[in-house]
Amino acid sequence: MTSDLPRVLLTGFDPFGGETLNPSWEAVRRLDGEIVRGHRVFALQLPTCFGRSLRTLRAALTRTTPDLVICVGQAGGRSRLSLERVAINVDDARIADNAGRQPVDRPVVRGGPAAYFSTLPIKALLRALQSAGLPAEISQTAGTFVCNHVFYGLMHALREAPHVRGGFVHIPFLPEQAVAHAGAPSLALDAVVAGLRVIVDTALRTRRDARVAAGTTH
């Protein structure tokens, strides 16, 4: 892939669990081709499938050679843009993926470390999102479904490329989805897109993370 600009890779997922759309892909594709702080944004849809999602992601990393990678996924029931702190080395699926696979207590990478931390400046991102009037939080768990699978696989792939930063963001349902989920929390697509734009911009301009309290007591 040729480009005269350094690159940012954003990924979203295809619909799963009976949904007809996935807000992560709807938001990410809105940013495809944008220029943010001298970087061109490339959007990629990942299959909601264990294994195949990581093969697709690894191929895209080779093809785009990005400086920054942000994977985005749907977290129905959450009300805020959730900046994930840590990915853990376990697949434990409550439901089957889109290929019918439902791994239980299996490692994402056999022999890999127990966990990887995001290399995004998550506290600075939190502060920037809040300053922009967008609902945001630091999340201490990315779950154990395909989102965590991709987050862990991403950080494992980047372990030998310290100049490339990466991480994961969960987003709520869109309003049209929430109707079918008994009024679950939701966030408008325009707000999600605006939030992702803030995240990319802030990550590109921030080298030292902010020190603000965003922990939990449970």
Q: Can you spell out the DSSP letters for 61-105?
A: HHHH--SEEEEEEE-TT--SEEEE-EEES-B--SS--TTS----S
Residue of 147, 163, 181, 218 marked catalytic:
147
Q: What average pLDDT does this structure show over 68-95?
A: 97
Q: What average pLDDT does this structure show over 82-109?
A: 98
Q: What average pLDDT does this structure show over 17-36?
A: 97
Sketch out the chain's domains with CATH numbers.
7-205 (3.40.630.20)
Q: What average pLDDT does this structure show over 104-125?
A: 98
Q: How sure is the predictor about 3, in pLDDT bands with cuts at 50, 70 and 90?
A: low
Give the pLDDT score at 183.
83
Q: What is the pTM of this model?
A: 0.96
Tell me if 202 sits within 8 A of 121, measured CB to CB.
yes
Q: Which residue in the block uniquely carries the two structure tokens 């989102």?
A: 147
Q: What average pLDDT does this structure show over 138-153?
A: 98
Residue of 71, 84, 149, 156 marked catalytic:
84
Q: What average pLDDT does this structure show over 47-66?
A: 98
* Known active-site residue 181: no
Residue 2 has pLDDT above 70, yes or no: no
* Known active-site residue 170: yes
* Known active-site residue 147: yes
Q: How sure is the predictor about 196, in pLDDT bands with cuts at 50, 70 and 90?
A: very high
Q: What average pLDDT does this structure show over 55-68?
A: 98
